Amino acid sequence: MRDIFIEILTTIKHNRLRTALTGFSVAWGIFILIVLLGAGNGLINGVMGNRMKVLTNSMTVYGGETSKAYDGLGEGRSVELNDKDLAMTSKGFTANVDKVGAEIQKGGQTIAFGENYITGININGVYPNDVEINKRDMVCGRFLNPFDLDERRKSIVVSQGMAKELMPHAPLNLNGCTVKVGNLAFTVVGIYESEKNRMDNDAFIPFTTYRSIYNSGDKTGNIVFSFHGLKSEQENEGFETAYRARINRSHRAAPDDENAIWIWNRFTQDLQLNKATGFIHTALWIVGLFTLLSGIVGVSNIMLITVKERTHEFGIRKAIGAKPWSILRLIIIESIVITTFFGYIGMALGIAATQYMDATVGRTTVDNGLFSAKIFVNPTVDFGICVQATILMIVAGTIAGLIPARKAAKVRPIEALRTGN
């Protein structure tokens, strides 16, 4: 075996250009595959990581504007959701709907504590289920509860960022303190964690308290609810159609008017996002595999040329007693040595490139002052996939060498010697 490797090394030295071209085809195919998959993973991880943390099986319903005439009324009418719609959601769809709530907002408010104050705050009147649907993590205290709602308490939940502005030296100590919203005093009952990909200017008070302060009558703003039993996109679409028709009729709007109310279904959105990321991943794999295939074709062509150029040499070997198997073994081992060596070079360079992307682009954060997000996160490839791609190239290179090797082994010595003349 040692003699074979020495002979292969000698052959490689005598044919450096051919070996370099073969090696480049192998290394380039693996390198591009790893870089493409790494870049794709970085984009997908960025998109998935920047998703708002929300309960997947939940919906938010917004009032809209009619887009068609119905029941003697013209188009362009505003639809405002009200208590009747809230009750209908809670009692009319019990087969699927779980907890129902509402959210209504007033922006441009000021919160003050002592000499410190913050402007441009959104005061949101919400139900206790908001903390579950929007997955808010409490760092101190609690979120609003049913007692706050029933008793119309002046309780307020602020963000961690607001707490730092109002009490810079000990933000968490703001919990339990009294702050002023405009001219009204509220007790801080909880502080929720600020998220980089969410705006940090939302404060929450009980829905009933909001309505009594801001005189919103029977208007509910948006209706939010969690649901169960809707497992597929088709089932969700069926529910949305039935729900829209019922709410629309209560506002004398066409049952199929999709602009009268807007439904944000987080479940179908999540399904569509997963489909999109899956498509991107598949597309990158296809492009990468075609690149790998081009490397395989390159190796095959060069091996065919190599065997043809060495036909005379093989004829001499057979003439002096070499067995067909020895010639076959020589070509196969040479092919394995070249593809393995350059394959692992391509793998090492590909991994190095993804690590470089992670250290540079992967740490880039987009910050508009209100929230920040990373658009490229962990652009790396699992080491197992890198090894599998390399092994695939080695196997392909071996097969590429096997086909011309078998042909060379079957050539009669006299024919091989004539080829060299």
Distance of CA 290 to the CA centre of its chain: 24
The lowest-confidence range among 15-19, 73-77, 172-176 is 15-19
Distance CA 344, CA 244 (A): 58
% pLDDT > 90, the chain = 41
Q: What is the mean pLDDT of residues 143-166?
A: 94
Q: What is the pLDDT of residues 187-210, one digit of tens each?
A: 999 999 987 656 678 999 999 999
User: What does residue 308 show for φ and ψ, rounded to 5 degrees?
Assistant: -65, -40
Tokens of 36: 């493409």
| Position 326 confidence tier, pLDDT thresholds 50, 70, 90 | confident
**Residue 386: its H or E element:** helix 383-410
The residues, ordered by sequence, that sit 6+ positions from 360 with a Cβ below 8 Å of its Cβ are none
β-strand 178-181 against 184-192: which pairing, if any?
A: antiparallel
pLDDT at 21: 78
- Report the share of the chain in percent with pLDDT over 70: 87
Q: pLDDT category, 370, cuts 50, 70, 90?
A: very low
Range among 129-133, 276-280, 340-344 rated most confident: 129-133
Distance CA 230, CA 18 (A): 61
Which residues make Cβ contacts (< 8 Å) with residue 234, sequence separation at least 6? none
Greatest mean pLDDT among 159-173, 269-283, 358-372 lies in 159-173
Among the listed residues 102, 53, 135, the one whose alpha carbon sits nearest the alpha carbon of residue 206: 102
Banded pLDDT at 177 (limits 50, 70, 90): very high
Q: What is the model's pLDDT at position 290? A: 81
pLDDT category of residue 5 using cuts at 50, 70 and 90: low
Q: What's the mean pLDDT in 165-192?
A: 94
**Chain Cα centroid distance, residue 145:** 34
Q: What tokens were used for 135?
A: 């997955």
Q: What's the mean pLDDT in 140-158?
A: 95
What's phi and psi for 85, nearest 5 deg?
Answer: -65, -35
Q: Determine the Cα–Cα distance for residues 59 and 96; give it in Å rounded to an integer.
A: 12
What is the pLDDT of the chain when averaged over all its residues?
83
